[in-house]
Amino acid sequence: MPLAVRGLLGVSVRCCSHFHRLVPRSRSRWGSAARLYSNKSKEVEKLVICVEGNIASGKTTCLEYFANSCNIETLTEPVPKWRNIWNHNLLALMYEDPSRWAITLQTYVQLTMLQQHILPQTVPVRMIERSIYSAKYVFVENHYRSSTMPAVDYAVLTEWFNWIVTNVHIPIDLIVYLQTTPETCQERLKSRCRTEEKVIPLEYLEALHQLYEDWLIRETSFTVPAPVLVIPADHDVQKMLKQYEDQKEKILYPFCKRSST
């Protein structure tokens, strides 16, 4: 039976397995609609949404759609930085020899994702591609479990990550999880133009998918920092755009409502 739950932004969301689910978290910050205005200053607060998903799950398409909606700032993954740090392509090096370069890349990923999170926000809504949490809980974890990252490297990154999330305010109000099968991601990778990704095997995508599911769906691995909106994303672009259109007001309310008046 479908279950009506009180949504993140104060609207009733109908949960259906064939469409999407809003997964509540006990430690999440609920009632975002109620805190959009400060009781003292009446100043509009900011909304931060992270779009999560496997490689080639459609995150960029999602951000591009919402970039044209309301007054929204979108921050894509800082891949150009990973591909060129002082003329070194860390992303390519990691895929070529993960045992040697995983710690180097993931250290830089953690830094650059932190920079995304703490960048001053000047508009009501910000959407970020992935987060410092998925960098650690999915990608670093996968390196460690697959033995491409030694235990000592994993320990150092974990210590850094724990210090960051304890001492730095990283606001996230909603996670939009684009849920795809590894097979769909592999097919999409074939049509992309990133040369570094040509060496990605299906097994790697399957491992990332499992970690995403353990984290955001089954909650068997790590703490989820915000409510999760699950959107099935195996569909073609046009159907995905239709889903984003249907979901827009629920995700962005009341910002879309205010901007249209």
CB of 61 within 8 A of CB of 240?
Answer: yes
Q: Which of 45, 77, 96, 129 is catalytic?
A: 129
Query: What is the spatial distance between Cα 103 and Cα 159, in angstroms, rounded to a whole number?
Result: 13
Rg (CA), the chain: 18
- Going by their DSSP bridges, the two strands 47-53 and 174-179 should be labelled as parallel
Residue with tokens 């809980």: 137
Whole-number Å distance between alpha carbons of 204 and 200: 7
129 part of the active site: yes
Going from the C-alpha of 209 to that of each of 100, 148, 180, 185, 197, the distances in angstroms are: 24, 18, 8, 10, 16
- Side-chain-side CA neighbours of residue 164 (13 Å): 21
Q: Is 78 exposed, middle or buried (0-12, 13-18, 19+ CB in 10 A)?
A: middle
Task: Return the number of other C-beta atoms located less than 10 Å from residue 212's C-beta.
Answer: 22
| Residues tagged active-site | 129
